[in-house]
Amino acid sequence: CDISTGSLTVKDSDIGQDSMLYASSGSICADFAKAGIMGGCKLMAAKGDIQLNLPKDGAAWSLVAKSTKGRVKDKMDPKPETLETLSSGEVHCDVGGGGPLIDIYVDDGDITLE
């Protein structure tokens, strides 16, 4: 899914195999209720914010999040034990030992993980 401006909202969705959400100048709000078995999801924004509610159903998933001119805000509760923030500001996480990869990148904006 690709939007030029505005807002893109995904609610109560599974992390689909090889799906991609992109906003040129706008925001993405994704609520992933469940993690799929394999594949991954890429969320990208050139200028805007991404808010992501991560699966809490006990399924396995992995995460890589990076913002060039913004920051990654961790509001996850409870925080996964494997959550790691690198000196570059990139955040890595592996919950449950594998599962689909959630790859998030924002050039000019913030990423909020919940």
pTM of the model: 0.87
Q: What is the dihedral of CA 53, 73, 66, 10, to 10 degrees?
A: 20
Over residues 20-60, the pLDDT tens digits come to: 889 999 999 988 767 666 678 899 999 999 999 888 777 78
Over residues 70-92, the pLDDT tens digits come to: 999 999 888 888 899 998 889 99
> Which sign, positive or negative, has the C-alpha torsion 70, 107, 23, 97?
negative
**Inter-residue contact 61 to 95 (CB < 8 Å):** yes
Cα–Cα distance measured from residue 68 to residue 3, given in angstroms and rounded to the nearest whole number: 20
